[in-house]
A and B are shown apart, each in its own frame.
Chain A
Amino acid sequence: MVSEPSPAARLNVLWLQSGGCGGCSMSLLGSRTGDLLRTLADAGVDLLWHPTLSEQTGADAVEVWRACAEGRTRLDVLCLEGAVLRGPAGTGRFHMAAGTGEPMATWVSRLAARARRVVAIGTCATYGGMTSGGANPSDACGLQYDGDTPGGLLGAEWRDPDGLPVVNVAGCPPHPDWMVETLVALGLGTFGASDLDPLGRPRSYADQLVHHGCPRNEYYEFKASAHKPSDLGCLMENMGCKATQAHGDCNTRTWNGSGSCLRGGFACIDCTAPGFEEPGHPFAETPKLAGIPIALPIDMPKAWFVALAALSKSATPRRVRENAVADHERVPPGIRNSGRK
């Protein structure tokens, strides 16, 4: 039983959007943890303003931002969804915050300086994400990263008053639970430096691999691989799947009820990682060298992977081999003789 926080301990959260698609908020609204607004309120989270949920608009909304920026309202958590747009030519004019005549990047810097904690929501706000893809036309970056490189808008050395870096709730989009759990933990005052992985991501989900709980695991074990979309086989060898290297609990937690990328029949593209938007190969193809995928399961020595793959391929049962290249199970599992006859 969690006791209700006292009013003084309530957490004022301001949520802004910039160079992204709004999909993190859309994902958040799909939360299955019960009544989302009540869940947050019960944890002491007061949303001062959220673009999708709040009543205040126009001048009333700007006044909420201004009161935070000027210190008239205590700002406990600044959430930014979407990348920071620095262009053109460092002016930030690719996103002028409506009704204010100022670049959103300026607002974010100003508010981050006042916030007790800064949370980057989604891979655009954390590392730059898809908005920084290609030639990065808008000069997009994350709050504390520019792709793989620490820096971004606030700089590598930036720390909040408690000594924490930006909390990076990476994911494209993040699972609703990743956002809800982070906000609730912040509201309850239980979130600290030890909850962050080396890339600033909450370890609650980032300490797992997407591979964990993959329902295609038997196909993985035998290297029985899919060759085209809708095949049931393992997606690693041909279809570009990075679940054995990607951080996230997508297959133990599941999405929208029973889903995940792999369950949906398509590759994990490692969307919680910096630089996922530029993999250096087509997203849905596995780059290989001499027939072996270049990117091997994390923590696994290459020689062992190659040896085990060769062995398991030769040991593949007919059922697994045939079902791997079909879109439904053509061969059902055998039934063991109970020995009771």
Chain B
Amino acid sequence: MKRIVVGPFNRVEGDLEVTLDVEGGVVRSARVCSPMYRGFEQILIGKKALDALTIVPRVCGICSVAQSAAAARALASAMQLRAPENGRLASDLVRATESAADHLTHFYLFFMPDFAREAYARRSWFAPVQARFQAMRGSAAAEALDARARLLDVMGLLAGKWPHTLALQPGGTSRAVHRHEKIQLLLALRAFRAFLEGKLFGDALERVAAIDDAAALAAWRDERPASASDFRAFLAVAEDLALERFGRAHDVFLSFGAYGPEGAPWLAPGVFDGALRPLEPATIREDVSHAWLADEGSRHPSRGVTRPAPDKADAYTWCKAPRLDGRVVEVGALARQVVDGHPLARDLVARGGGNVLSRVTGRLLELARMVPQMERWVTALAPGEPFCVTGGLPEDAMGMGLVEAARGGLGHWIEVRGGRIQGYQIIAPTTWNFSPRDAEGRPGPLEQALTGLPSGDDESAVLVQHVVRSFDPCMVCTVH
């Protein structure tokens, strides 16, 4: 048995270390370590409840408004507030903008550059892929960053700035939209659509969103050469490297549901394990048996505690291990699309479960579906009608805020006593995906996804990177 320590992983958000036990050219087991602890759940204790809105975005610079939204929703539930339609639409737009920017950043800056590495120099597709996607040098990064910066104009208009806004409030948003600004918002989305349709897909978003199974995806890919769009280039590489065979985890997918009116979100909530099941947040437990945290048993986050125990035996990460009704679950764009019932996502998962191909495709499919939806939300904004309502916070209250960040389900649980925060627990998407083993020894999703991978040559070393990045991890959120 040979032990390999891999890290630091760059082109993920934050720091990450993975330990692989290899025997006979195969990864036999993996341990995922989130090596940094800041203690936001401790920092929040004793603060006035509404201060959470300023503090929690700073948990994460890439999922900043998702953190804001979860806090706003947790406080809104404690205050029994409901945002007016405009506030809901503006908040959805801000969150969708962040998710779209993150999906773009992941594909162009984090994920694709690995195919431009020398390990693949002998592959037939290498030269054009290297010219397009190589880190720091490829032609795609500048174009994608420009498209991203232009998209973030939506943040300048609706949220003041990104990251770290205070515009998302329990009762709506702090920035009302004027009539002419609706046009500015549409123009920013049109510019983004032009990039997606011109470069990423080489096709209309609506056509991409209508691809309904793996065979239709292959047919779409073959309509034009791989050089015609960046998604086609990825699909060609994925076919050659058989990426759908790698990175499979437990194939239980969780989504809290996203966007749209409460009770009737645009993307449905639920759990998919071959069949769709209802979401039961009361069955969430966080296990800390393998984290450097004091172990007070497996707890629901509303009663959770976070106390560092850096010398604890058998621990190997700062990350807790959340489980849903005792099950290891995977979250992310693929999970959202599968739970929502998109036929392509369902078919990809039926064929090969969650894997490198299906996770990346799920993310780009979501982009194709989301931008037309955002255009409709802008159109629905009604200048002159209210964007924000206010209300009082009871001295003692509990609140829960479940949202979908770019990388999957994000939950905040707050307990307020005497107007101050008595308890605050966060379960971020990568907390689910990169969780360690639990008390029963069951590995987390990435740990499972790495097990069984080939090991030994240059290409298999890069394959580990593909599997890790297929989850689009955000390590600063993971531990917080």
Stretch of A45-53, A160-168, A184-192, A313-321 on the interface side: A45-53
Check B59 for interface membership: any CB of A closer than 8 A: yes
Q: Is the CB of B159 within 8 A of A269?
A: no
* CB neighbours of B172 from chain A (8 A): 229-230
Listed stretches A4-12, A134-142, A199-207; interface member:
A134-142
From A51, A99, A140, A256, name the one whose CB has the most chain B CB atoms within 10 angstroms: A256
By the criterion CB–CB under 8 Å, are B10 and A135 in contact? no
Give chain A interface residues in 237-260, CB to chain B under 8 Å.
254-260
A230 and B173 form a contact (CB under 8 A): yes
**Residue contact A18 to B58, C-beta cutoff 8 Å:** no
Residues in A34-75 with C-beta less than 8 Å from chain B: 35-38, 47, 49-58, 61-62
A19 in contact with B38 given A257-B153, A264-B175 (CB within 8 Å): yes
If the complex has contacts A58-B8, A137-B308, A264-B159, are A22 and B13 also in contact, measured as CB distance less than 8 A? yes
B176–A284 contact, CB under 8 A? no
* A283 located at the interface, meaning its Cβ lies under 8 Å from any Cβ of chain B in the complex: yes
Interface hit among B271-279, B384-392, B434-442: B384-392
A282 in the interface, Cβ–Cβ < 8 Å? yes
Determine which of B8, B42, B184 lies in contact with A98 in the assembled complex, contact meaning CB atoms within 8 Å: B8
Which B residues from 364 to 399 make CB contacts under 8 A with A? 383-384, 386-388, 390
A230 touches B176 (CB 8 A): yes
B38 x A23 contact (CB < 8 A): no
Contact B141 A23 (CB under 8 A): no
Q: Which residues of chain B are near A55, meaning CB under 8 Å?
A: 113, 116-117, 134-136
Q: Are B174 and A264 in contact (CB under 8 A)?
A: yes
Using a CB-CB cutoff of 8 Å, which residues 1-33 of chain B contact chain A?
A: 5-11, 13-17, 33
Task: Decide if A24 is an interface residue (CB 8 Å cutoff).
Answer: yes
Residue of A whose beta carbon sits closest to that of B45 = A134
* Contact between A95 and B117, CB atoms less than 8 A apart: no
Determine whether B157 belongs to the interface, using a CB cutoff of 8 Å to chain A: yes
A37 to B161, CA, bound (A): 22
Partner of A58, one of B6, B60, B154: B6
Q: Is the CB of A98 within 8 A of B116?
A: no
State which of A22, A49, A51, A257 has its C-beta within 8 Å of the C-beta of B156: A257
Contacts of A196 in B (CB 8 A): none
Do B164 and A23 touch (CB < 8 A)? yes
Cα A32 to Cα B146 with chains together (Å): 8
Knowing A35-B142, A47-B136, A264-B160, the reply to whether A21 touches B58 (Cβ < 8 A) is: yes
A25 interface residue, CB < 8 Å from B? Answer: yes
Question: With an 8 A cutoff between CB atoms, is A133 at the interface?
Answer: yes
Chain B min CB distance to A245 (Å) = 17
- Assuming the contacts A19-B38, A29-B145, A135-B42, asked whether A256 and B7 have C-beta atoms less than 8 A apart, the reply is no
Q: Establish whether residues A26 and B163, one from each chain, have CB atoms under 8 Å apart when the complex forms.
A: yes
Size of interface on A: residues with Cβ below 8 Å to B: 81
Q: Mark A91-103, 1 if CB is under 8 A from B, else 0.
A: 1011111111000
Residue from B38, B105, B116, B188 within 8 A of A29 (CB atoms): B105
Min CB distance B239 to A, Å, is: 24
Q: Does B93 contact A (CB under 8 A)?
A: no
A22 touches B14 (CB 8 A): yes
How distant is A244 from chain B, measured CB to nearest CB, in Å?
18
CA distance A169 to B135 in the complex (A): 26
Q: Does A85 contact B (CB under 8 A)?
A: yes
A21 to B14, CA, bound (A): 8
B37 at the binding interface (Cβ < 8 Å): yes
B194 contacts the other chain (CB 8 A): no
Cβ contact within 8 Å between B136 and A30:
no
Q: Is A327 part of the binding interface, using a Cβ–Cβ cutoff of 8 Å?
A: yes
Q: Are B166's CB and A264's CB within 8 A?
A: yes
- Do B11 and A25 have beta carbons less than 8 Å apart? no
**Closest Cβ–Cβ distance, residue B22 to chain A (whole Å):** 15
Q: Is the CB of B43 within 8 A of A133?
A: yes
* Nearest residue, chain A, Cβ from B17: A98
Q: How far is the CB of B309 from chain A (nearest CB, A)?
A: 9
B:141-192 near A, CB below 8 Å: 141-142, 145-146, 148-149, 152-167, 169, 171-176, 178, 184, 188
Q: How far is the CB of B50 from chain A (nearest CB, A)?
A: 6
Check B149 against A32 for contact (C-beta < 8 Å).
yes
B162 touches A256 (CB 8 A): yes
A98 near B9 (CB under 8 angstroms)?
Answer: yes
Contact: A21 with B64, CB < 8 Å? Answer: yes
Residue of A nearest to B178 (CB): A328
A30 contacts B149, C-beta separation under 8 Å: yes
- A130 lies within 8 A of chain B by Cβ: yes
Nearest Cβ on chain A to B407's Cβ, whole angstroms: 13
Roughly how many angstroms separate A267 CA and B167 CA in the complex, as a whole number?
A: 10
Q: Does A158 contact B (CB under 8 A)?
A: no
A159 interface contact, C-beta 8 A:
no
Bound form: Cα–Cα A63–B136 in Å: 18
Residues of A near B308 (CB, < 8 A) are: 88, 94, 137
Cβ contacts under 8 Å, A38 to chain B: 142
- The answer, among B9, B62, B159, for a CB contact under 8 Å with A259, is B159
**B351 within 8 Å of A (CB atoms):** no
Q: Are B387 and A230 in contact, with the CB atoms below 8 A?
A: yes
Q: In chain A, what residue has the closest Cβ to B52?
A: A283
* Among A23, A85, A95, A265, contact of B163 (Cβ-Cβ < 8 Å): A23
Say whether, besides A133-B55, A259-B155, A264-B160, A26 and B38 are in contact (CB < 8 Å): no
Chain B residues with CB under 8 Å of A266's CB are 160, 165-167, 174
Cβ-closest chain A residue relative to B18: A98
- Interface contact A264-B165, CB-CB below 8 Å: yes
The reply to whether the CB of A110 lies closer than 8 angstroms to some CB of chain B is: no
CB distance from B151 to the nearest CB of A (A): 9
Q: Assuming the A-B contacts A98-B8, A98-B17, A259-B155, are A137 and B388 also in contact, with contact meaning beta carbons closer than 8 angstroms in the complex?
A: no
In the complex, B222 has a CB within 8 A of chain A: no
Most buried by A among B48, B166, B476: B166
Give A254 to B43 CA distance when docked, in angstroms: 30
With the chains together, A254 CA to B155 CA distance in Å? 12
Q: A57-B11, A131-B38 are in contact. Are A264 and B163 (CB under 8 A)?
A: no
* Contact status of A230 and B175, CB under 8 A, knowing A55-B116, A130-B55, A134-B47: yes
Using A23-B62, A54-B136, A261-B161 as known contacts, say yes or no to A135 and B43 having CB atoms under 8 A apart.
Answer: yes
- Knowing A98-B16, A230-B388, A284-B50 touch, does A27 contact B61 (C-beta < 8 A)? yes
Is B403 in contact with chain A by the CB < 8 A criterion? no
- A299 CB to nearest chain B CB (Å): 26
For the complex, is A20 an interface residue (Cβ under 8 Å from B)?
Answer: yes
Beta-carbon contact of A260 and B160 below 8 Å: yes
**Cβ B167 vs Cβ A264 within 8 A:** yes
Between A and B, 28 residue pairs with Cβ closer than 8 Å are: A19-B38, A26-B61, A26-B162, A26-B163, A29-B149, A30-B148, A30-B162, A37-B141, A52-B10, A53-B141, A56-B10, A57-B465, A99-B8, A131-B43, A134-B46, A138-B38, A140-B38, A230-B172, A230-B387, A256-B161, A257-B157, A261-B166, A264-B167, A264-B174, A265-B176, A266-B165, A283-B54, A284-B51
Lowest 4 CB-CB distances: which A-B pairs, in order?
A: A264-B160, A23-B61, A98-B7, A259-B156
Given contacts A93-B310, A230-B173, 9 further A-B contacts (CB under 8 A): A26-B64, A27-B162, A37-B142, A52-B109, A255-B155, A260-B160, A264-B161, A327-B386, A328-B176
